[in-house]
Homo-oligomer: A and B are copies of this chain.
Amino acid sequence: MPQTPPSPSQHTAGRQMRHERTEGDLQHCLLCDRNSGGLCNRIGRDGLEALASSSRRLVLPPGSTMVEEGQAAESFFNITRGTVKLFKSLPDGRRQITGFADPGQFLGLSRAGLYAFGAETVDTVHVCRFQRPQFEALLNDLPHLKRNLLTAITDRLAEAQEQMLLLGRKTAREKVASFLLGRTQTEQPPSDDTPPDPTPVASVPMTRVDIADYLGLTIETVSRTISALRREKLITSTENHCIRILSPDALRQIATGQTAG
């Protein structure tokens, strides 16, 4: 497992010898706690301190292997920045990406002590890493953590079911439309004063290969389909790895198969 040295960034003050890292991590956890949807919600100051002292923050460059299928599950991660791809593979190299994990999501549950999937960073990724035994202990000590984890897994399972519907029953066009819509929700700060953007932007940091392996298509079909949607003025490319959705309603219709074309 590749492992970059912990980033020395954000050293503002506080130079106590042994508490420096922990204090920084606690600050980070307090921040993380405020963003809803994560594991660390509502577990109290004591819980956050326990989490902070038994986790380690890491920054991983793009393309890092975080988890390999079949390996002993030694770490548990909470993603705070960037995107991770989870996948399963066949012996001949065919690959299915089973999901993209964005900030706020966990990573590293194991079946019988082994990872059942592989995981690689898509871009630069920040994580909190826990050693498994310590995380298990935290689970037992913090009922809210256990409950948050249960809720989070349930969400992942529901996503997986939705993705099975996509993979088994949708056309290429429906798949791509669904994918683009799905890439718009991520990491939207809940600001009530700003109404939902009428032309949201999809964050697409991954390559065509990854998209294809996620949707059960080839890169050529993905490319052709995106080109077609662009020709039809339903979407438009803005900057790098960003796609603006000009007609969310039309795209939603396509994604759910409620369209003639």
- List residues of chain A with CB under 8 Å of any chain B CB: 86, 88-92, 94-96, 98, 109-111, 116-117, 140, 143, 146, 149-150, 153-158, 160-165, 167-170, 213, 215-216, 256-258
Contacts and interface: CB of A to CB of B under 8 A. Distances in A.
A163 B96 CA distance: 10
A165 B96 contact: yes
Given A90-B165, A91-B258, A169-B90, A109 B160 contact: no
A95 to B, nearest CB: 7
A235 to B, nearest CB: 22
A109 B157 contact: yes
Given A111-B154, A149-B150, A153-B157, A90 B164 contact: no
A167 B216 contact: yes
B154 A109 contact: yes
A165 B98 contact: yes
Contact of A169 (B96, B154, B258): B96
For the complex of A and B, list the 7 residue pairs with the smallest distance between their C-beta atoms, beginning with the closest.
A168-B216, A160-B160, A167-B167, A116-B158, A96-B165, A88-B165, A98-B161
A160 B157 CA distance: 8
A158 B111 contact: yes
A154 B153 contact: yes
B109 A257 contact: no
Given A143-B140, A164-B167, A92 B257 contact: yes
Given A149-B150, A216-B168, A161 B91 contact: no
A158 B69 CA distance: 11
B157 A95 contact: no
A92 B168 CA distance: 15
A168 B167 contact: yes
Contact of A94 (B94, B150, B163, B169): B169
B90 A256 contact: yes
Contact of A161 (B116, B155, B158, B213): B116
A80 to B, nearest CB: 22
B160 A164 contact: yes
